[in-house]
Structure formats: structure tokens, C-alpha cells
Structure 1
Amino acid sequence: MDEVAVIEDPAAAEVALDPVRARLLAALVEPGSAAALAAVVGLPRQKVNYHLRALERHGLVELAEERRRGNVVERVMRATAAEFVISPAALAAVAPDPRRRPDQLSARWLVALAARTVREVGRLIAGANAAGKPLATYAADAEVTFASAADRAAFATELQAAVADLVRRYHSADAPGGRKHRFFAGLHPAITRDFPTHPENSNPEQEN
């Protein structure tokens, strides 16, 4: 079982988003049979089998083992990954493109960069898993509380300068055998409360 799988196929995304099938995926982090899962989701075993076949067709679950119980062979299934993420590639026609109107102060551009990260890293994970090789990645995560908007702006300016300096020092465009990597850093207000789905006059930054 993979740690995480990124779903690119629109049909597979549709299957995974079904509430019952999503519950089955969550339950199948540990192998289970249709009979055992029926009690979890509160559906007849035949109905669970129907959902499991749909998940299996799209590579979201797989056969873990077969158990013979008298004249019946029981199929024990498991999820193909512990966690699933739906890639923006599943909505390719409307997926955000960071090449369109790049703007370091734009929330839309931040979302577009994050979407590209999910899409590209998902494909890298799939390729590394297929090749049986590790994938070299690095991520940093921190939460910063700024005393003022001026401090936040100063932080962004210093971060930009530091990144530019590091890129200048380590970027070797013509290095023989060099491998291109993509670096991404983002900053946004931390979410400290739930916001309404359709706020009338809501400003998350002011309400935090």
C-alpha cells in the first residue's frame, strides 16, 4: 500500500467522491471483506460488493487475499493507498494555471502554484512507485504570527531576497547531468475558525 495516491482520472475522482465509497476507502486502510464492511457502512453485502467493484475498476482498492469459507471464496480487499488526493488534473479544462497572470501578491496565483505542486508531485510519486525508486523531496512548514501588516510585508521582502540569493548561488543551468528542481514557498493567513460557504461580507484576514 502506498502512503498517498494522487487521483488524476476524472472518472476515478468521481468514484472516490461518492460518500459511501469514500467511507469504504477509509475503512480499507486495513484489509476487509464485503461482509465486514457491510456493518461499517450499514448496507447489504451485495451493495458493498457493487461499490467495491467500482473502486477496484479505478485502481482505488485491490485484492489483498482470498479466503475459502466452505463452498464460498471470500475476497478481502484493501485500499491501494492510505491517503488520497484529487489532482487538479482531474478538472483539466478549468484547473488553475500559474503561468496565467503571475502575481506574488495574488491569492489566485498562490492557489494555482499549490495546484501545480499537487499535480506534478502526484505524477512523480506514481513514476517513482512504478520504478521502485525513492523520490527526493523536501518541504518546510511553519506558522508565523506577525505583529503588523508592515512586518508581514517586510518578511515577504526578506524571504524573496533570500530565495533569490540561494537560487543565484546554486542554480547551474549548464551543469552536465544536472537535474532541474522546482522550488515553491507560500505564505497565507492561518485559518483559525470556520467560515460560511457563501459569506456575504466576510474577510478571513480580518476575522482571524
Structure 2
Amino acid sequence: MRDVEVIEDPAAAAVALEPVRARLLAELAEPASAAALATRLGLTRQKINYHLRALESHGLVEPAGERRWGGLTERLFTATAASYQVSPAALGEAGTPAVEPDRLSSGYLLAIAGRTVREVAGLIRRATDAGKPLPTLALDTEIAFRSARERAAFTDELTTAVTDLVSRYHDETAPGARTHRLVVSAHPKPAAPPATRAG
């Protein structure tokens, strides 16, 4: 089972986004039979089998062996990944926005994020086919700014530091050099949902 699978095919995305099927993908982090899933979801086994066939036809679930129970042999299924993301590529031209020139706009950030999902998904597929690892780097942290002025000062200092590092290490003329994308982004952290009080 892969950690994350990026869905690029529009038909597969439509199948995965259907509410019952999305729930089945979550339930199938561990192998389960149609009968067990029917009990968990409160649906008939026939209905579960129908949804499982749709998921299997798009490579989102796969057989995971058999189990004998009550004199019957049940087929087990498991999801092909622990989690799924739908690539903007699934929307075709509508999912490929032009990258806005304003690096401080939310539209620019979303366009860059979408491009990252599309590019990394393709790189993972090619690396997997070649039996090679894909070298990547990701940094994730949080920072609380005391004021908008300090946020702006941080942005300027970070830009200067990154520009300096890039100028020191970038050499596209070196034999065997391979260009990498470096994306640095920041956005306000969403507020935590309010805790529900027990009634």
C-alpha cells in the first residue's frame, strides 16, 4: 500500500469522490470483506460489491486474499493507498491555471500548489516504473508574527536568504546537473474548530 496516491484520471476522480466509495476507501486501510463493510456502513452486501467493483476497475482497491467464515469463502479487499489526493490535472484545462505574477496573492499560491501536485505525481509514476527513489525535500513549520510589519520584514529577509543560497548552488552548466523546483510558501494557519461540549 502506497502512502499517498494522486488521482489524475477524471473518471477515477469521479468514482473516488462519490460519498459511499470515499468512505469505503477510508474503511479499507485494512483488508475487509464486502460483508464486513456492509455491516459497518449499514448497506446491503450487493450494494457494497457494486461500489467495490467500481473502485477496483479504476485501480483504487485491490484483492487482498480470501477468508473462510461460516462455511463461506469471502474475498478481502484493501485500498491501494493510505490516502488519496485528486490532482488538478483531473480537470484538464480547467485545472491548469496560469501562474499569476503576484507572489503575494492567494491565487499564485494555489497555482503553485496545484503545479506541485501535478509534477510530483508524474515524477513518482516515472520513478516507480524505473524502480528508482524520487529525491524530494519538504520543510514545514509555524511562525507567529507579532505584527504585519514584522511579517513583511521576515518576507524580505527570507527572500534575500533564498536568493543568496540559489546563487551559490545553482549551476545549470555543470555536467549531469538536474534542475529542481524550490517553493517557499506561507499562509495563515486555519483556526482550530471549536471543541464540542458533551450534552
Q: Structures share a fold, TM > 0.5?
A: yes
Contact 1:96/1:111, CA 8 A, preserved across alignment: no
Work out the CA distance in 2 between the residues paired with 1:143 and 1:69: 50
Residue 4 of structure 1 is matched in structure 2 by 4
Residue 205 of structure 1 is matched in structure 2 by none
Work out the CA distance in 1 between the residues paired with 2:98 and 2:141: 23
CA deviation after TM superposition for structure 1 residue 129, in Å: 2.5
Percent of aligned pairs with the same residue? 59
Residue 166 of structure 1 is matched in structure 2 by 165
CA deviation after TM superposition for structure 1 residue 74, in Å: 2.4
Structure 2 unpaired stretches of 5+: 194-199
The 10-residue stretch of structure 1 (109-118 or 122-131) with the greater mean CA deviation from structure 2 = 122-131
Residue 203 of structure 1 is matched in structure 2 by none
Residue 197 of structure 2 is matched in structure 1 by none
Residue 156 of structure 2 is matched in structure 1 by 157
Q: Deviations over 1:150-187 (max 9, x none)?
A: 11111111111111111111111111111111110101
Q: Deviations over 1:51-70 (max 9, x none)?
A: 00000011100111134568
Work out the CA distance in 1 between the residues paired with 2:65 and 2:127: 25
Residue 87 of structure 1 is matched in structure 2 by 87
Could you say what secondary structure the match of 2:104 adopts?
A: coil
**TM-score of the two chains, using structure 1 as the length reference:** 0.87
Work out the CA distance in 1 between the residues paired with 2:142 and 2:37: 39
For residue 62 of structure 1, what is the amino acid of its counterpart? E
Structure 1 unpaired stretches of 5+: 195-208
Q: Deviations over 1:134-153 (max 9, x none)?
A: 21111111111111111111
Residue 39 of structure 1 is matched in structure 2 by 39
Work out the CA distance in 1 between the residues paired with 2:98 and 2:154: 23
Work out the CA distance in 2 between the residues paired with 1:136 and 1:177: 15
For residue 26 of structure 2, what is the amino acid of its counterpart? A
For residue 16 of structure 2, what is the amino acid of its counterpart? A
Work out the CA distance in 2 between the residues paired with 1:129 and 1:64: 21
